[in-house]
Structures are given as C-alpha cells and as structure tokens.
Amino acid sequence: MRNCFSFLRERLSIRSESGITRRLYSIFQSYGWTTENFRRNLESLADLLEELEAPATFPVTASAVARHPALFGRLQKRNMEFAVHGYRHIDYSRLPREKSLALLTRSREVFRRYGLCDSGFRYPFLRKPALGAGLLESCGFLWDSSEVVSWPLQRPEALENKHWNDYLQILGTYDPEELKPGNCLPRLKGRMVEIPVSMPDDDILFERLKLPDRLIRAIWEQILTAACLQGVSLVIQFHPERWPLFKQLLRHLIRRAREGREAWICNLSQMSEWWRRRSFCTWKTEYRGAGLNRVVVNGPAGLALLGSMGMQPETVETSSRRDGLTVTCRTRLKPVIGVSPQSSESLFSFLGEEGWAWERTETPEGYPVVIRHPGALTPEDKRRLLSRIRALKAPLLKVQLWPAPHRYALAVSGDIDGIDFWDYMGRFYGS
Ligand SMILES: [Zn+2]
C-alpha cells in the first residue's frame, strides 16, 4: 500500500494543480464504471482503420486482456494489432529484474491464452529499467517500442507558462533523445528490434498544452513533411481514450501520408519484421567475364536499390519465385564490400542495417575493400567504418530503407492502460 501511495504521489507531482484536476476529470470521463465508453471508442477507431485500410498497434496491459478477452479477440481481426504493455500499468524501472521477468512471462501467457499476438512490447510510462538489457529478449519478445525521440516543438505564441511547463515536465520523464540524423529509425538490439516512438503525442498536444485543433494539425503536418524528407520511421501515439478528440486529425494524417504513396503505413510487427529481414539480407556476387558482375540479393519483398551508387546497373530484376533482387552491372571490381569471416556478428548486422552490399570472403582480390573486425563494434568504430566506406571511390550497391516505392514509414500506435475504471485502478494494486 505504501508503494501505491508513493507511486500516486509521484505521478501527481509531475503535474500542476490544474493539471491534476484536468487529469482526474479526464480519467473518469475516459474510463467510466463499465466497459461501454472505451469499447465504443475502440470500435469506432477500428471502423476508421478498416475504412482507410491502415493497420495500427495498441500496446495493452495483460490484466486488461484477461478481464476483456472477447473484445480484444474481435478487434484483432479489424486491423488492430495488440502488444504487451506490462501485466498491470506499473513502473518496471523500479522492479527487481526477477520480478519483471516473472510478470512479463505471465503477460505473454495471457496473450497466448486468448490468441493475441505476443511478439511486441512497450513499457508503461515509456520507462525502461536501467539494467534491463536483454530482459525482453530473454522473455521471447521480437520488438520493443519504448525509447522516445522528441521532435522539435516551437513554443506556440500566447501559450500560458503553466501549460508549457507541464509539457516540459512530462517530456522530461520520458528521457527522450532529441531528433538527430539516424536516431529516428528502428535498431537491432541482439535478436530484437527497438522502434522509437515520437513525441509530442496526443497527451502533450491535447491535454498538457491544450492547443486548438488547427495548431495541432499544423504541428503534425510539419512532422509528417519532415519525416518524409528525412526518410525516418515515424511512430505516432494516440491514446484511444481520447478518440473523440483526434478522430478527424488521424483520418487527415493517414490520408495525407498516403498521398503519392510516400509513407509505408504499417503496424509495429510489420516494421520490425521488415527491418530484421532487410538487415539480414544476403548478397552473392558472380563474375560473368568482360567486366560483368551478377549480384543476387536475398531479402524481403519490396527491396529496392538506392538511386545513386556511383554507377548505373544494367538490369535490376525481381523474381516471382522468391523475394529479393538480381542485379547485373559492369564494374571493374565487385560492387560489394568484402568481409572477413573472422569478423563479429556485430559487423554483419551493422552493414546490413546501413543497407550496404557485403559478402564474406577469404581473399581481397576483386573487392574495393575487405573489412575484418572480430569484436563488437563501438559507436566510434561505426563512425570510422562509415567514413571509410563513404571515402571509397569504387561503386557499391546499397538498398533503400523502406519497401519501394515508399520514402518513409508511418506506424500509428496507442497505449491501452485499461478498458474501465477498475482496470485503471489495477495499477495501484502493485503487480
Ligand atoms: Zn500506458
């Protein structure tokens, strides 16, 4: 019980007095004593996702799944993917590792018992345990989406100080990384894929900042435009309990992202699977004589070569019998990086995530460069390696970040902490 009160006190301490009143009012409004309110929101959200043929991901607490399994079973068939959001909505950064392990294992069991996909995870409050490396992987999860990237937000004119301070305070609790080149993309972590979630979310824009709809729409349009220019993975977060507030906005954003087929609209499992398969695609070169190289790339459907690689391939073909590409090009050297087989997995996966063509070789002949790195790569090793590759004068093949013809990826996500007031209160009963 003491834990319960200290947790409550801490959550309230990151809000101003008016923020606490607003939050309590909105909790009662959103959840209600029965499931009716929330069920209606989720079904209306599913209607929109079906209408727009857009998949989306909803991390949900396993205790809510256990209380309402039929609802989640129905919604799973309607473009809604569910992911584990802890057993109850508690702060896992404060639990001993063994306790977390037991709860996460129990959560996956609940998901499996009711036939829900249990491969993805998001920590409640987006708070990862500091010593949690490998915890999710050891439980068998394939992806996590708990790290936060913060998009730059100009302070809107005439915004009251208390609202701006509210925003800064909640943002601080997420320990976000500021948006930089390369940090708004999925990343391999062991066998898992970490997919960062973007801020600001609906909680910040609607509840903390209390911005007018036209300004929220303008902010999101700017973020979509920037995401497209930078080719990143944009994971947006809209909590279903605020569905009536963002219904029109979400419809507009998905339609806007679809224009010109610029965005690949996917759920987080699809994004993680794409990233894993793209990162581990294999390249095999064969010299055909007279300067002609044939390169067979085994990888996911939708794989496409990057436009500028220092040469123009003669042919690029896809096959109806298998995924991937076959490329022919006239180059003096093989258009791939040679990698010594004594190198570490860390090097193979780094080159794969960067999209470079590479193959294992014992001999340096015929390659523009051969790399050998037996140990795990440090960030400094990665920087040096990239500048060495970019300084090469020889043509090299490289694949695009996202399935053709898309320039960036957009995933809609929304955490479900509970369906009714009783689920919501469950967080105060500890585990
Ligand atoms: Zn949550």
pLDDT at 429: 62
Q: Which residues surround ligand 1, an ion (CB under 5 A)?
A: 124, 415, 417
CA of 89 to the centre of ligand 1 (A): 6
C-alpha 126 – ligand 1 centre gap (Å):
7
80 CA to centre of ligand 1 in angstroms: 17
Q: Residue 392, Cβ neighbours under 10 Å: how many? A: 13
**Cα 416 to averaged position of ligand 1 atoms, centre (Å):** 6
The answer to whether 347 and 377 have CB atoms below 8 angstroms apart is yes
Which residues, 6 or more positions from 334, have their beta carbon under 8 angstroms from its beta carbon?
Answer: 285, 287, 293, 295, 366, 367, 368
Q: Give tens-digit pLDDT for 373-431.
A: 999 999 999 999 999 999 988 899 999 999 999 999 999 999 999 888 777 777 766 55
CA of 240 to the centre of ligand 1 (A): 11
- What is the whole-number distance in angstroms between the Cα of residue 364 and the centre of ligand 1? 52
Q: Which residues of the chain have pLDDT under 70?
A: 1-30, 32, 308, 428-431
Domains of the chain: 2-272+409-429 (3.20.20.370), 282-390 (no CATH)
Q: Tell how far the Cα of 167 is from the centroid of ligand 1, in angstroms.
A: 17
pLDDT attached to residue 1: 44
Tell me how far the alpha carbon of residue 20 lies from the centroid of ligand 1, in angstroms.
Answer: 17
**How many angstroms separate the alpha carbon of residue 48 from the centre of ligand 1?**
22
- pLDDT of 16 reads 56
Residues 142-190 pLDDT 10s = 999 999 999 988 887 777 888 888 888 888 888 888 888 889 999 999 8
Q: How far does the centroid of ligand 1 lie from the alpha carbon of residue 293, in Å? A: 52
Query: Could you tell me the distance, in angstroms and rounded to a whole number, from the CA of residue 57 to the centre of ligand 1?
Result: 13
